[in-house]
């Protein structure tokens, strides 16, 4: 019931459109019910042994034409505006799901499959859209036609009408028995097409690695396995569909034969006229359309339920990091960052990544973090903007617990440059403007100049309007990094995090990027994660992390003079 209420809530903005859609669907159904009656009038009254009653025939033909116009107009409305309503509801759900997924923390995205998320936002929501439009419409059309046909046929011949409608429950029982199997098969298919999407996304994103290592055959075999599993689930769905639809066809044939046999018997007893038998046969055809609709509705219902279940499963995952009820915006940041007995673990089953971290960075201070891989340097910095939530202790900015600050204002004061900065498909100007969407072209160019990016950008054919491709593949690593730095310059944060921002670059690119990073770090509280110790000699303080937490702390000269972990790391690099 909770999910049904959630589904019906999406109809609320389109109540009038839904009411009009159902009205015109019912009107079209009533028109279809009128056709056999008009044919009965023609065969029983307009045509006789004396000839054709021309005036009556003309009136009936006129009514036919009028009804055809009404049926066309009603059908056009339900086809166009009804589908548009379903598409709008689908778009609303996709908007809600997209916003919801963006609110999830890094922990959620660490475990989520991009392919499965894409499947839920596309395939599943399309099935829900079909149910939203066709569901109410098919039910109304079916009820109007079945009830209307029963009332009309009962007036012509009660025994024959009761015989027809007494058999209908057998069909509905058949549909009920196989709808559960169909739903199960459809839900499995949706999960497995999500696996295929995940495989496609993974392989195509890493196509350079695949080709470099001749991994085409291995990737093809993985894809074929998932494709076969999807095919097997589809076969089960097709089997249930085949039983239902062929059962329906057999039912129509049986019903037609019974009407002819019983009708002939009643004609022989002079309890039924031949035009009335023809009318019954016409109504069998008229009845089959709503019955087929009900069968299709069952399929759409199972498709839609399976899709909506997956939609709600995702929507009901509450973000584990969000704004507290009393959270306030952060203004006029000085840049003091304090860790008070901070500990962190990814899950209860895993060991601690950080424990007992006590540390204060003063405003404008340049802090470097070094240590062996896997000791939590990136996690340490990720706790400041609350990409992850510390499991113990408190992180404070200017004395305020980060959990008491709204996420939007917190992250607006923090800039991050990563080792592999993500660039979006689009132009260079659009990617730099991501740092501040309302920036002017002059401000974008000023940020690029500070990042040592303006020269190479102006040398490109379209300059700042140059398209850079998916993930910036048309640019070199150094160029991508400088655009990322320009984006951060434009954001102008009070706190800066540099996560191995130069470790993947060649010497010349590193020099250009390092200059822009030093310019960016001025007058900001800066945290630098570095493996190359030569790049952090000028740091105000260096924190040496190990599995035990902060192992050492001091300047480069102080730490190098000790016989500790930092001195050993420096000796290894030399």
pLDDT beyond 80 at 240: no
Question: Distance between CA atoms of 290 and 66, rounded to whole angstroms?
Answer: 23
Kindly tell me the burial class for residue 8, based on how many C-beta atoms sit within 10 Å of its own C-beta (0-12, 13-18, 19 or more).
Answer: exposed
Mean pLDDT of 208-215: 69
Tell me what pLDDT residue 574 has: 57
Asked if residues 309 and 191 have their Cβ atoms less than 8 Å apart, the reply is no
Is CATH 3.40.50.300 the classification given to domain 337-573? yes
77-133: pLDDT as tens digits:
888 888 888 888 888 888 888 888 888 877 787 777 777 777 777 777 777 877 787
Cβ–Cβ under 8 Å, residues 419 and 377: no
| pLDDT value at 458 more than 70 | yes
Identify any residues that bridge with 496 across adjacent strands, giving them in sequence order.
Answer: 415, 526
- Residue 208's pLDDT is 63
Distance CA 103, CA 408 (A): 11
Q: What is the pLDDT of residues 241-289, one digit of tens each?
A: 777 677 777 777 777 787 788 778 777 778 777 777 777 777 777 777 7
Domain parsing of the chain, residue ranges: 2-315, 337-573
Reported confidence tier of residue 400, pLDDT bands at 50, 70, 90: very high
CB count in 10 Å sphere of residue 154: 14
Query: Is pLDDT larger for residue 53 or for residue 495?
Result: 495
Q: Is 360 helix (H, G, I), strand (E, B) or coil?
A: strand
3-state secondary structure 201-218: HHHHHCHHHHHHCCCHHH
The CATH code belonging to domain 2-315 is 1.20.1560.10
- Whole-angstrom Cα distance, residue 459 to residue 475? 13
Q: Are 416 and 495 in contact (CB under 8 A)?
A: no
Buried b (16+ CB within 10 A) or exposed e, 175-200: beebbebbbbbbbbbbbbbbbbbbbe
**338: helix, coil or strand?**
strand
Phi, psi of 477 (to 5 degrees): -60, -40
């Amino acid at each position: 019931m909770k999910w049904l209420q959630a589904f019906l809530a999406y109809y609320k903005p389109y109540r009038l459109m839904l009411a009009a859609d159902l009205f015109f669907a019912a009107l079209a159904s009533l028109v279809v019910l009128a056709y056999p009656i008009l044919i009965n009038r023609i065969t029983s009254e307009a045509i006789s042994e004396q000839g054709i009653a021309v005036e009556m025939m003309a009136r009936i033909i006129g009514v036919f034409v009028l009804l055809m116009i009404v049926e066309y107009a009603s059908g056009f409305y339900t086809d166009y505006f009804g589908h548009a309503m379903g598409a709008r509801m689908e778009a609303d759900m996709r908007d809600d799901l997209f916003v919801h997924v963006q609110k999830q923390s890094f922990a959620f995205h660490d475990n989520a499959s991009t392919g499965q998320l894409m499947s839920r936002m596309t395939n599943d929501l399309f099935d829900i859209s079909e149910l939203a439009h066709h569901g109410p419409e098919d039910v109304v059309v079916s009820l109007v036609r079945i009830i209307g046909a029963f009332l009309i046929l009962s007036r012509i011949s009660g025994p024959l009408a009761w015989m027809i409608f007494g058999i209908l429950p057998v069909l509905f029982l058949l549909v009920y028995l196989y709808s559960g199997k169909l739903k199960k098969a459809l839900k499995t298919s949706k999960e497995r097409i999500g696996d295929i999407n995940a495989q496609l996304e993974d392989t195509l994103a890493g196509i350079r690695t695949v080709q470099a290592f001749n991994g085409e055959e291995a990737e093809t075999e993985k894809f074929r396995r998932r494709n076969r599993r999807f095919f097997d689930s589809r076969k089960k769905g097709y089997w249930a569909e085949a039983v239902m639809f062929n059962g329906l066809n057999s039912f129509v044939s049986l019903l037609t034969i019974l009407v002819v046999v019983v009708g002939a018997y009643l004609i022989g007893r002079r309890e039924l006229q031949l035009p009335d038998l023809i009318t019954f046969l016409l109504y069998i055809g008229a009845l089959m359309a709503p019955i087929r609709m009900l069968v299709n509705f069952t399929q759409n219902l199972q498709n839609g339920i399976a899709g909506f279940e997956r939609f709600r499963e995702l929507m009901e995952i509450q973000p584990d990091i969000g704004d507290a009820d009393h959270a306030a915006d952060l203004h006029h940041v000085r840049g003091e960052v304090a860790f008070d007995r901070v500990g962190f673990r990814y899950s209860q089953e895993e060991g601690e990544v950080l424990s007992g971290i006590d540390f204060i960075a003063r405003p404008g201070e340049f802090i470097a973090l070094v240590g062996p891989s896997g000791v939590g340097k990136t996690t340490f910095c990720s706790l400041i903007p609350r990409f992850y939530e510390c499991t113990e202790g408190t992180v404070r900015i200017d004395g305020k617990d980060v959990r008491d600050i709204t996420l939007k204002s917190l992250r607006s004061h923090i800039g991050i440059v990563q080792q592999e900065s993500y660039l979006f498909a689009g132009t260079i100007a659009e990617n730099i403007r991501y740092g501040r969407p309302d920036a002017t072209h002059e401000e974008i160019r000023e940020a690029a100049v500070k990042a040592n990016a303006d020269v190479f950008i102006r040398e490109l054919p379209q300059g700042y309007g140059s398209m850079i491709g998916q993930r910036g593949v048309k640019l070199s690593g150094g160029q991508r990094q400088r655009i990322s730095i320009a984006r951060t310059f434009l954001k102008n944060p009070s706190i800066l995090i540099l996560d191995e921002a130069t470790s993947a670059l060649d010497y010349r690119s590193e020099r250009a990027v390092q200059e822009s990073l030093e310019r960016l770090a001025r007058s900001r509280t800066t945290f630098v994660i570095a493996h190359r110790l030569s790049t952090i000699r000028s740091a105000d303080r260096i924190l040496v992390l190990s599995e035990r937490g902060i192992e050492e702390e001091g300047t480069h000269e102080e730490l190098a003079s000790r016989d500790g972990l930092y001195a050993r790391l420096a000796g290894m690099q030399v």
